[in-house]
Structure 1
Amino acid sequence: MVKIPLGLSAGGEPPIRVLIDNGEYWLNNKGDLALLDVTVRRIRARWPDARIGVLTYAPGLLRAFEPAAEPVGYRRGAHWSRLGRSSQLPARLGPAVVGRVSEVWWSLTNPPRRQLRKLPDSVRHPLTRMKEWRSHDRDRNTVNRGARIPEAAKTASLIVAMGGGYLADVDTYQATRTLDLLEYACEKGIPTAALGQGIGPIDDPVLFARAAKVLPRVDVIALREDVCGPDLLARMGVPDERIYITGDDAVELGYDAGRPEMGSDLGVCLRIADYSPVGAQARTSVRRSVQEFALGVGATLVPLIVSECESEDRRSTLPLLEGYPSVAAPLDRYARARDLAAAVGRCRVLVTGAYHVAVFALSQGIPVVGLSSSKYYDGKLGGLRAMFGGGLELIHLDAHDLDDRLSKSIRELWDAAPQLRPVLRERARAQVAASREAYERMFGLVERTSGASAQSMLDRQSSV
């Protein structure tokens, strides 16, 4: 038996270490989970011995959802995880068990943390461990986070900003945090990639200036749409040769979930959030339109819950289905992204204000009525429609004739579904191929430099 020194691969060189940033550290959003699944799976397939670190606030849940990845905290001093038998337990228990245990833990520990945050910094400072649990809202007020770059970044072979819509005004906190990490990597000569990105809108001059300083230095930037992102990056000075138009990385997961037969149900999801406000009158119109149409064609209504952040999609979607005679049971809050994609597959048409179920639907050849109430969602859904060449009717929820528009769009897409299916599936295949091409570019960056930097990487790993 050949014994391999700790930290080395079977070939004797330091293992590749990939550090992944993402838009949802609590793992509450199945769209982000789909992106994570595809990203980790592709990296693992290319580099079976790689260590894949994911920035997260939910380490146990990450191990349950993605056993091939390891949690890394976004805080000063956060190292790569220790590997051992205990780290494998969440994967054996599964997300449902781990998630509910985590809920109990947070219900017990969150009140003391809230009290701790009320103390002056001079009192809290010695309690360094507790300071690491600062809330998202408190961190939002922090502008310079350079000192919080995880220690794990120092020994990374590659730093990836995973797909999402967080490089935008709606999430300046996460956008700045990601830009900080990418800038650190660029300064240290670590290869960087931003994959499956929905960039913008960015009208905030401070955020625009920050992005314009960092993004032109990123090695690979893959965009999920070609309507707004390319122009925005051009204004930031990003070289054309670094930009790829790929579609959303989650298209692959949605496509793989496709059924051989066309569905017969009507899927529904309504997103209500600060970045997607929906008034009572619009909610009533959506409820009336989907129920009347479904009743007329004898369809079951399928609630499709994407975001479990404060149960926002459940609280806004389930009331729309109340009183209807045939409603499918919603998925468990800790269901996997592929389970949601499978639930989408039973539908003939979707009515949704959430982006990623629209991705899952179009990828399977299922047309979508997209609901928007903001510039942010106009961009998300409009860009998605452009990537698929149609199959998505965008409805603004402030339209004065909302009931008529909804009913007409649902009916037209329902009738056109058989003809749209093969066209949408073909567009999905093209996006998967483009996305994989961008990953190949990223993989090549690391592999071309790995040999020359192996000793340097080993020196860095041994010094921390």
Structure 2
Amino acid sequence: MPNVLITGITSCESRGVEALARSIIEQLNTEGSKGGNNVTVLTQTPVLDAEALAPTGTRCVADPFVVSRSWQQMRPQESPAELAARREQLLAETDLVIATGGDLHTSDYGVSTPYLRALTAAQQRDIPTVMIGQSVGPFDDPADAAAWLTVAARCHLLTVRESVSLGYLVGKLGLPEHRVRLSSDPAFLLPAATGERISAVLGPLGLAPEDPYLCLAPSQGITRFSTLEDSQHAAALTRLATSLVRTRKMPVVLVPHCHDSRPHNDDRILAARIAEAAGMPEVMALPGTLTASDYKGVLSQAELVMSERLHAAIGALSGGTPAIAIGHSHKFNGVLAETYGDTVDVDGIHADVRTFAQDATVIDRLVNDTDATVLRTTLRQRLPLITDRARSDFAQISKLLGA
């Protein structure tokens, strides 16, 4: 049975990260893989992620290639020698390294080159490597771009999840076209929780299965990538939530997609803040410790989703529910444009978070001009193509594993 190492995982505290990890693991262990694979996930929060991914039978270990100071309390303390020994042991057992991460490889977060280390070490030992469903760039530092290109040139499979990244890699960085392929985010393949489970999740909010509702997925951490004050951001989201209730005559469920142990990135804090500031019972935060599949189920049953978390938007889109993104980088409009196709104007389904918070007309446009019926029809026509692209990555991976 092949041994597969997954890198690019930070922590399943982010349900977007959990969605990526679970989708990849479950695709690796489908019937077509001749009984499955032994999968090891490198993470900053191994105990937490072992619990989150327990249904998949995956082993989660503290990443010995990247040691994040911000999560150091969530992983064992190890000396440099201990880390080096674990790196060697892991690679000695590995038949394939898969890099996920969505958008790690950009200058936005300052972690691109460190998260290449596992791939570089594997390539030095002639272990096959793949990078799937990536958004890449832009890089501010030429050294980061060069490091990424060096690894990409030796990957056995390299796919991106949207055309913006494809154009950047080929047109700006000069990557040969045959080295990269357009695909989709693996999380489009994540199964949603059952209808019975979603009814149990929504019940405490007073929502029955037949009740229509809207979803708003706020990001506590998004202001770190803009000049916005937290108070300005929260006020804009509160105006959006209350405007949606008054105009669309439906409750708004706030979806905290990231349950981070670091307060600056914990969406539960912001969701509670919005619900309190709204001062109306129709604006309510979804409670509980829910899984990525739970959230996908909730998002998939909504009439419309507005999201500052890309993987919350993907949870909706992959379930056939129209989503609009409020974002801070090209990854948002890139993924949405790819999902809806050329017939939908990207400017109508995406708003930059700075403009959203500072220009009142943006909220008016999102609330009044969004035609959810048209978006839903277009989305459901495109979904088979998007999911087939994601599945094709795993067909190629199966060949690499000899399945």
| Range into which the TM-score falls when normalised by the shorter chain | 0.7 to 0.9
Are 2:28 and 1:39 aligned?
no
1:208–1:301 CA distance, 2 compared to 1 (3 A): same
Q: Which residue of 2 aligns with 1:5?
A: none
Q: Provide the C-alpha distance between the structure 2 equivalents of 1:262 and 1:192, rounded to a whole number of angstroms.
A: 46
Q: CA deviation at 1:220?
A: 0.7
Amino acid at match of 2:29: R
Q: 1:296 aligns with which of 247, 268, 276?
A: 247
Structure 2: 5+ residue runs without aligned partners? 66-70, 199-208
**Which string of whole-angstrom CA distances, capped at 9 and with x for unpartnered residues, describes residues 366-390 of structure 1?**
3333223xxxx33111111211223
Q: Which residue of 2 aligns with 1:240?
A: 177
Q: Provide the C-alpha distance between the structure 2 equivalents of 1:30 and 1:265, rounded to a whole number of angstroms.
A: 21
Q: Provide the C-alpha distance between the structure 2 equivalents of 1:254 and 1:411, rounded to a whole number of angstroms.
A: 32
- Contact 1:369/1:410, CA 8 A, preserved across alignment: no
Amino acid at match of 2:240: S
TM-score (norm 2): 0.81
Are 2:197 and 1:210 aligned?
no
Q: CA deviation at 1:417?
A: 1.6
Residues 382-421 of structure 1 correspond to what in structure 2 (within 5 A)? 382-388=333-339, 389=341, 390=344, 393-399=349-355, 402-413=359-370, 416-421=371-376
Q: Provide the C-alpha distance between the structure 1 equivalents of 2:163 and 2:219, rounded to a whole number of angstroms.
A: 24
Amino acid at match of 2:64: R
SS at match of 1:75: coil
Q: CA deviation at 1:339?
A: 0.4
Q: Which residue of 1 aligns with 2:68?
A: none
- Contact 2:29/2:37, CA 8 A, preserved across alignment: yes
Q: Provide the C-alpha distance between the structure 2 equivalents of 1:239 and 1:178, rounded to a whole number of angstroms.
A: 23
Amino acid at match of 1:278: L
Q: Which residue of 2 aligns with 1:103?
A: none
1:360–1:282 CA distance, 2 compared to 1 (3 A): same
Are 2:60 and 1:71 aligned?
yes
Amino acid at match of 2:228: V
SS at match of 2:103: coil
Residues 156-171 of structure 1 correspond to what in structure 2 (within 5 A)? 156-171=94-109
Pairs aligned (count): 367
Q: Provide the C-alpha distance between the structure 2 equivalents of 1:184 and 1:110, rounded to a whole number of angstroms.
A: 26
Q: Please identify the structure whose Cα radius of gyration is greater.
A: 1
Structure 1: 5+ residue runs without aligned partners? 1-14, 77-106, 114-128, 134-144, 449-464
Q: CA deviation at 1:147?
A: 8.1
1:199–1:393 CA distance, 2 compared to 1 (3 A): same
Q: Which residue of 2 aligns with 1:428?
A: 383
Q: Which residue of 1 aligns with 2:282?
A: 326
Are 2:48 and 1:61 aligned?
yes
Q: 1:268 aligns with which of 176, 192, 216?
A: 216
Q: Which moved more, 1:291-300 or 1:389-398?
A: 389-398
Q: Provide the C-alpha distance between the structure 1 equivalents of 2:397 and 2:179, rounded to a whole number of angstroms.
A: 11
Amino acid at match of 1:266: L
- Contact 1:158/1:446, CA 8 A, preserved across alignment: yes
Q: Provide the C-alpha distance between the structure 2 equivalents of 1:196 and 1:358, rounded to a whole number of angstroms.
A: 16
SS at match of 2:304: strand
Q: Which moved more, 1:47-56 or 1:59-68?
A: 59-68
1:317–1:277 CA distance, 2 compared to 1 (3 A): farther
1:275–1:154 CA distance, 2 compared to 1 (3 A): farther
Percent of aligned positions that are identical: 22
Q: Provide the C-alpha distance between the structure 1 equivalents of 2:77 and 2:2, rounded to a whole number of angstroms.
A: 32
Residues 9-158 of structure 1 correspond to what in structure 2 (within 5 A)? 15-24=1-10, 26-45=11-30, 46-67=33-54, 68-75=57-64, 110=73, 130-131=77-78, 149-158=87-96
Q: CA deviation at 1:47?
A: 4.2
Residues 221-260 of structure 1 correspond to what in structure 2 (within 5 A)? 221-232=158-169, 235-253=172-190
Q: Provide the C-alpha distance between the structure 1 equivalents of 2:235 and 2:312, rounded to a whole number of angstroms.
A: 21
Q: Provide the C-alpha distance between the structure 1 equivalents of 2:115 and 2:393, rounded to a whole number of angstroms.
A: 20
SS at match of 1:131: coil
SS at match of 1:171: coil
**Which string of whole-angstrom CA distances, capped at 9 and with x for unpartnered residues, describes residues 267-309 of structure 1?**
1122242235533334323312320231333311111111122
Q: Which residue of 1 aligns with 2:125?
A: 188
Amino acid at match of 2:43: T
Q: Provide the C-alpha distance between the structure 2 equivalents of 1:254 and 1:406, rounded to a whole number of angstroms.
A: 32
